[in-house]
Structure 1
Amino acid sequence: MNNKTLASIACILSLFITATLVHADDTVSNVQNSSYHDDDEDEDGLAVCATSNLKGKARGWCESYCGDHQCGTLGGTVPSDSKATVPGKVCSLLLAKLKAYLGQSADYPCNTVKQTITLSPSLSFPNTQFGVSSAPQTVILTNVSSTLFSVIPSSITITGTQASAFSQTNNCSSLAPGASCSINVVFTPQVPSPLPPAGTIVSSLATLSVSNGQSILASVSLDGKATAEPQVSVSPASIDMTVTSDNGSGSVFSQITISNSANATSNLLISSIQITGSVFSKDSNCDSAVIPPGGSCIFNVNFAPTGQSVVVQTYTGSITINDNSPTTPETVSLTGASHCVLCLLR
C-alpha cells in the first residue's frame, strides 16, 4: 500500500476518530477537526487535534492527514517525545504518532494558524555628520495573527554591510493578537576609509528584520546618508600689529594657523589665499596645501609700513582663504599702526 493510499485512508478515518484507533489502555478526547489550505505547499488538508492519555501520560496531540502544515498555536501540554520548541514559536507538537497506527511513521507539525506580523515603515535618515548619532526614528511591529507572538532579544536583528551604522532599542515582548510595539532606530555614520573627496555623499544601507527563531517574518530597509567634508578652523580671527621707529617705517610679522579637525571626513584643500592692504603681505607656505584630518598649516603675515609725516598712521587689510570646506571662504581681519618718533619734534 503506497503513501498516497494511506493518506486517503487517513483522511477518511480522521472524520471518525475513536478510541479504537489507539491502544486499549489509551483514551482520546476533545477531538477537533479543521480543514485548511497550506499556502506554502498549495495543498488542502485536514488537521485533527485532541487530548490523549497515552500510556498514562496526558498530552495534547495533533495530526495533519492530507498534507503537513507549519505549527502555529495549540493549547495543551507539550509531550516529552515532542521536538524541542523553537524560540518565537508557540508550539511544535509532533505528538502521539497517530499515523503510526495506520502503517505510517512520519510525524507532522500541527495547527492551521500561521504567525503573521507587520513592520512599518522603512526608514530614511537625513544627512548626518560622521560619528554623530541621529535622532531616533521608529518602526512599528504589529502582530496581525490570531495567536500570541513572543519577541525575544534575538528576534530583532539589523543586517547588511553597513549594519554597524545602525542600532535599535525596543519595548517589545509578548504581543497579543492585534497588539503593537515600537522599535527605535538610531543612525551613527562611520568614518569611511579611505577618505572620499569632499562633498561625496556616503550611503549606509541595512535591513531591520524580525524572526520567529527559524525564519524571517517581516523586514524593512534602513537608509542613512552622510557627506564627507573637512572641518576647517582659522586662528586667530584678527591680527593687530604695531611698528615704532624714527620715521614710522619698519617690519613685523604674525602667524595664522589653518587646521582641519580630527573629526573631519575629508582632506582640506586650500585653493587660494588672498591678502588686501598695501602694507601687508604673506608667504606662500600654505598656498595649495592639502591638510588631512587632524593636520594644520601655518603661514606668516607681514606688516611693513614705509614711513610717514604724522605721529601715528593706521592701516587695515584682510586675509581671505578659499578651500573645499562648507564654510569657505574664511577671513582674518588685519590692522596695523606705525608710530613716528621724530614726527613729534616737527
Structure 2
Amino acid sequence: MAVLSRAAMVLTMMGLAATSALSQPSLISMTTDVPLPDGLSYDFHALSCSNLQNMVRDAVQGAMARDAGVVPGLLRLFFHDCFPQGCDASILLTGGNSEQNMPQNGGLRRSVLDLIEGIRATVHRACGPTVSCADITSLATKEAVMQSRLPGYDVPLGRRDSLAPATAQQVGILPGPDFNVERLVRTFADRGFDKMDLVALSGAHTVGKASCGSFRNRAGENADFVRVLQQVCARNPGHLQDLDVTTPNTFDNRYYNNLQVGRGVLNSDMALTQDGETRNWVNNFAGNQGWFFSQFSTSMRKLAHLPGGNIGEIRNNCFRRNGNGESVVLAAEIFAAFA
C-alpha cells in the first residue's frame, strides 16, 4: 500500500507540474505556420546567386557601423512596403505618384533607400539581374533584425518588383500615430495579424524617432511627460523625438516598460495599454525580453509572407521601372533557367 501511495503521489505531482507548465506562456509564438506565397521559396536564389546572403550581410553591417538609424529605417521601410499590398518594393519607386510622397511615408530615411539600391547594384554585378529589389529589402531587414541580437526568421524569396506604386487608398491603411486601440486592432486584423502581432510589431518603436507633428495631440496619463514633449517641440518644431525615451539606440524591451508608466511618445503607443488583451502583451513583453524578441521575429516572418501581386519585373534600378529598351526579367523565368 505504501508503494502504491508513493506512486500515486508521484503521478499527482507530475500532473500538477504538467498543468503548471501548460499555464506558463511559451517563449515561442504558436503562430509560426505561415503559408508560403505561390511561386516563392526560401532558397529561390541558391543556384542563381549563392553568395546573396553574404553580400547583403556585409552591406548592412557596414551601414549599421556608420549610422545607428539603419535598423529603424529598414524596419519602417519594410513595414510600409509590405503592409499595404505585400512586399513588392513599390515604395522604392520615385516620381509624381510615388508612395514616398504620401503623408504616411514622410520621414523615410534617404540613407536606407540608397542602401537598398547599393545592395542591388552589388548583387547584379555579381549575379546578373536575378534578384529583385523586393527580395533585397526583405533580406536586408532580416539581417538588421539578426544584427540586433534577435532570432532569425525565414523570408520567402523570388518576389517580383511592382510595376507601379501602391495607390493612395492602399497606403491609407497604414496605422497612424493617433490611432486608438480599436482602430489599431481592426487595421492589423484586416491584414491577418492578431493582437499579439500588433503589440510585438509595435515594439519596433524601441528604436527610431518621430517628428513633432506625430505627437502634437498626445493625450493620456503622465501629464508631466506630455508637458516635456510639448516644451521640446515648442522650442524646436523640427525636433525628432526618440520613441524609446530610455534606451533609444538599443533594441530591447524598454519600450514596453515606458508604456507601463505612461511614457509612450505616440497616442498609438499608449493605446496598447487601453485594451485588456493588448495590455497583457505589453506587460508580458515588458517582463520578458526573450519572449518579446522571439515574438517580434515571428511577427516579422508573418509580415514577410503577406501575398503580393503576380505581375512584375526585376528592376535594373530600384527607384524606377525598367525602360522600354530594357528586358523585363520575370522571376519565374530566372527560376526555370536555374532549376
Normalised by the size of structure 1, how large is the TM-score? 0.17
Task: Return the index of the structure with the highest Cα Rg.
Answer: 1
Higher strand share: 1
Higher RCO (CA-CA < 8 Å; seq separation 6+): 2
Higher helix share: 2
TM-score normalised by L of structure 2: 0.17
